[in-house]
């Protein structure tokens, strides 16, 4: 009887051992699967561009934020915020070589993967002295699939920037409306009026108003084929007083620089400590023309116009 009991006890002990072994194997397999999935997801980290095929590997809300950052904002914002576009390699022509260092599952549907990244040239070579950077890839399980939910907390940065940009767009829309309707109405008119905004400085006041200093231009164009031909235009620099009406912003007052001999003196009075920045913008024709082309291109794109060139009177047409 004692042997029977012992055999039963040993069988039970052996059974428990196999259960424990199975649990341990499952745990090991689980960690291994997460690491493999993290390595697979690295190929879809936005780097210089957001790939359409990445949609299936990024959570819906994070992809929507990235799509807005890459494709829904004015193009001229890109160079001021490169970190939003070059998440990993920067702009040096290298390729990111990823390696998963570890994965920590924080709960049943979330995990954090530590990723090391080395910059590799297109031929596969790399500088052994170059730094290896570590990044954090946030993973979330959605419908049984692990997806990219964030990368180095850039999601919050992007959301904050998008909100600021939308406020900036409200401001630009308010200024543009004023320039078109209040200033542009005094010019010889064509088919459409597109102002150019070069904002020098902004200052929120403790009251309901804000001040915006800028070098503003108004241009009227007529449409001939795929070309916008300039009908009239002029410069209006100064300080605008901005007020709020519900969700909209509008120009409540505009203190402009004087024409003729009093121009420089009035610019110094109006721009004050911003005078040097204003003059750097105002006196640089190349910068001014680049901004004009950029903002005109955005206008054409936003309004679905079949326009490819613009042309000032007496000059060659320029491509948008």
Token readout for 16 is: 């428990």
Give pLDDT, residue 1.
47
Separation CA 165–CA 271 (nearest Å): 24
Separation CA 128–CA 270 (nearest Å): 55
Q: Which residues pair with 204 in a beta bridge?
A: 210
Give pLDDT, residue 46.
85
Q: 137: phi > 0 → left, psi -120 to 50 → alpha, else beta; which?
A: beta
Query: Comparing C-alpha atoms, which of 108, 162, 103 is closest to residue 138?
Result: 103
Q: Are 92 and 120 in contact (CB under 8 A)?
A: no
Residues 6+ apart with CB under 8 A from 256: 236, 237, 238, 270
Q: Which long-range contacts (CB under 8 A, 24 or more apart) does 243-248 make?
A: 243/208, 243/209, 244/208, 247/170, 248/170, 248/173, 248/174
Which pTM does this prediction carry? 0.61
Give pLDDT, residue 79.
47
Separation CA 129–CA 111 (nearest Å): 31
Give pLDDT, residue 256.
96
Q: Are 250 and 170 in contact (CB under 8 A)?
A: no
For each of the chain's 320 residues, which pLDDT tens digit applies?
444 444 544 444 555 555 555 544 444 444 558 999 999 999 999 887 888 999 999 999 999 989 888 887 765 554 455 655 567 776 667 888 899 999 999 999 999 999 999 888 878 787 776 778 899 999 999 999 999 999 999 899 888 888 877 888 889 999 999 999 999 999 999 999 999 999 999 988 766 789 999 999 999 999 999 999 999 999 999 999 999 888 789 999 999 999 999 999 999 999 999 999 999 999 999 989 999 998 999 899 889 999 999 999 999 999 99
Residues 6+ apart with CB under 8 A from 41: 57, 113, 137, 139, 146, 147, 148
Numbers of helices and strands, H then E, in the chain: 6, 11
Phi, psi of 120, rounded to the nearest 5 degrees: -120, 140
Residue written as tokens 């990044």? 135
Helix (H) or strand (E) segment spanning residue 19: helix 2-41
* Domain annotation for the chain: domains and CATH numbers: 2-152 (3.10.450), 169-319 (no CATH)
Query: Comparing C-alpha atoms, which of 48, 133, 120, 49 is closest to residue 86?
Result: 48
DSSP string, 222-265: EEETTEEEEEEEEEEEEEEEEEEETTEEEEEEEEEPPSGGGHHH
Give pLDDT, residue 34.
93
Q: Which residues pair with 281 in a beta bridge?
A: none
């Amino acid at each position: 009887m004692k042997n029977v009991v012992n055999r039963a006890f040993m069988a039970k002990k052996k059974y428990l051992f196999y259960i424990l072994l199975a649990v341990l194997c499952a745990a090991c397999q689980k960690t291994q699967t997460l690491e493999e999935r993290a390595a697979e997801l690295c190929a879809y980290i936005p780097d210089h561009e957001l790939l359409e095929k990445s949609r299936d590997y990024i959570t819906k809300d994070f992809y929507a934020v990235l799509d807005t950052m890459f494709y829904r904002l004015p193009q001229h914002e890109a160079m001021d915020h490169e970190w939003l576009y070059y998440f990993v390699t920067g702009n040096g022509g290298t390729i990111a070589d990823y390696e998963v260092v570890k994965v920590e599952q924080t709960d049943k549907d979330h995990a954090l993967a530590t990723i090391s990244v080395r910059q590799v040239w297109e031929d596969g070579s790399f500088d052994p002295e170059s730094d290896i950077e570590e990044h954090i890839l946030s993973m979330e399980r959605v419908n049984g699939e692990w997806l990219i939910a964030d990368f180095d907390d850039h999601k919050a940065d992007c959301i904050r920037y998008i909100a600021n940009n939308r406020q900036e767009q409200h401001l630009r829309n308010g200024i543009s409306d004023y320039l078109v309707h209040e200033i542009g109405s005094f010019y010889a008119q064509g088919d459409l009026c597109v102002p150019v905004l070069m904002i020098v400085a902004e200052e929120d006041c403790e009251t309901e108003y804000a001040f915006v200093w800028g070098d503003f231009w108004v241009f009227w164009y007529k449409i001939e084929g795929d070309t916008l031909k300039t009908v009239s235009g002029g410069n209006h620099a100064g300080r605008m007083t901005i007020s709020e009406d519900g969700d909209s912003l509008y120009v409540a007052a505009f203190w402009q620089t004087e024409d003729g001999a009093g121009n420089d003196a009035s610019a110094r009075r109006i721009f004050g400590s911003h005078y040097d920045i204003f003059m750097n913008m105002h006196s640089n024709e190349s910068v001014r023309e680049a901004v004009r082309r950029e903002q005109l291109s955005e206008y054409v794109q936003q309004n679905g116009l079949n326009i490819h060139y613009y042309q000032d009177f007496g000059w060659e047409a320029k491509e948008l």
